[in-house]
Amino acid sequence: MDKASRILTEISTVARDIEENYPELQKYLDETQDTLPEGANTNAKMDEKSLETYLNTLKEMIKKYEEEH
């Protein structure tokens, strides 16, 4: 499994955790998505840096929520 696939798997796991355990945060999932590939769809590549940024944003959102509640 390549790095992008591993990151996507972890994103799915964290997103599912948010949906199941932090429903209050679910509304922010769409707002924080910056994982769309650049360029035309036929030439688009998965940008690992964007995926990592999105994953870290999700994790930070949970951490911040837990600290405040």
Closest by Cα among 22, 16, 18, 47 to 34: 47
For 59, half-sphere exposure in the C-beta direction (CA atoms, 13 angstrom radius) is 10
| Cβ 52 vs Cβ 7: under 8 Å | yes
- 10-64: pLDDT as tens digits: 999 999 999 999 999 988 887 666 545 555 444 445 688 888 999 999 999 999 9
Which pTM was predicted?
0.76
